[in-house]
Structure 1
Amino acid sequence: MQPSESPHRTPAAATMRSTPDTSDVEGLTVGEVSARLGVTVRALHHWDEVGLARPSLRTAAGYRLYTAGDLERLHRIVVYREIGLGLDRIQAVLDDSATDVPGALRAQRAQVAERIDRLQQLSAGLDRMIDAHERGLLLTVEQQAAIFGPQWNPDWPAQARRRYGDTTQWQQYAERSASRSPEEWQAVTEAMADLDRALGDAMDAGVTPGSPEADQLVERHREIFASYFPLTRQMQVCLGRTFETDPGFAAHYDGIRTGLAAWFRRIVDASARTHGIDPETAAWQ
């Protein structure tokens, strides 16, 4: 530590001395120091204002000039700032003889290690999010077969991405998929299978579209489907239409009960009407 940087100096001693003639003064201007150390002129001015790094000299015109000792102090400030110490902590390290410098650095190292761990977690999360947007499902082929059953085609997620990859719903689906474990996918699959059985049982029992029992099943479908992406009532009407007319979906529902695809569409349409939605004009929105 330079004598002029003694932690016991008074505010008066800490002020810069002026010199009326700079012809024989060796010192660097703020701009020159900025270029040498890679810090902004604004930062140097701020450090001067808060008393962290005051240049020892001034020209007759009042311009700051930094000495070799000033540069050494500034270099230490830059190093400590790079490792994440705040300005108050830096000043204590430089000027307070009672400060436990190794202890302060160990504490900072612990904080840096925590940040590194957090950044590594964020990086892993970003990798999963990217994969989910590109693949849809972050499950192995074996996991997909075990969860979704032998009729599941592992190519379906890729086909869905090619068809819907630019939609908001695909993005929402990917974001949910990125954070979902195989066990959570299993729970979603089981909930949907339970609903399918409940739909078949309700149709067999003669539940009529528009009845409280039918409306409850429609709401249950919307809640479970939200595991993929939020489903508005209008979007649900469009899905019901698709379930009846698309051969693949119709085969799934009619495989549970003959005529279930058409019945499901009817209960969805009836529920929509009670909420002021005309199923004939409903759009995907």
Structure 2
Amino acid sequence: MTLRVKEVADLVGISVRTLHHYDEIGLLTPDQTSESGYRLYSDENLDTLQQILIFRELGFPLKKIKEIVASPSFDRQEALILQRKILIEKRSKFDKMIASVDKMIQHLKGEIHMTNKEKFEGFDFSSNLYEQEARERWGDQAVDDSNEIIGKMSTDDQNKRMEKMEAIYTKMAAIRHLPPDGVEAQDAAHEWYVWLNQIGSYSLEAYKGLGQMYVDDKRFTKNIDQFGEGLAAFLKAAMAVYADRNKTK
């Protein structure tokens, strides 16, 4: 089933001009055009449009959205799962802020008294964990490059890569009681940096940021610490030392 541009605009609640603009910039080009020149949108086009509008709601610029959805490594289901997490966290923040606003209205009416601290309960302006993950996932060219390289590998090569990664983790787990700025730790940090750059292009700053994510995101911590309790924190420290030391070289 196909829909004309006006039908899509009415269905979605956006303007025809917006759809024309998406087509003009190559963000969303309809699969078909009728003999009379009408744009005809397929079900797959509508699926892509849904993703575009969610990304827009999350603050992604159109240029970046185009790069994301056009990437060979783009996984629509993965994107939806992460988008859902971001939206749920945003909803939770808004619910708390609404509750504070309702209390403030009561306060102004003289029905209740609020302390200054209570007036700002629910006003959390720290970063959204999943939103940061999304921006790192789709905003860092190194990650996209890595996925593309891995996708071209044979299954055997991919398995060897995973075995090497696990070997590095195991090695670092065995020395995690040592100082992260020591020779053993820094040799392992170098080995990990080389491994990452064989499938991507990680700057020293990005490498340091990746280590920070190992402790900031509890999912990373849980997976890494399977090799040894406290390994994620040790990795973060060793990677930071490695990045800082090599910036001056």
TM-score, structure 2 as length reference = 0.45
Of structures 1 and 2, the larger Rg is shown by 1
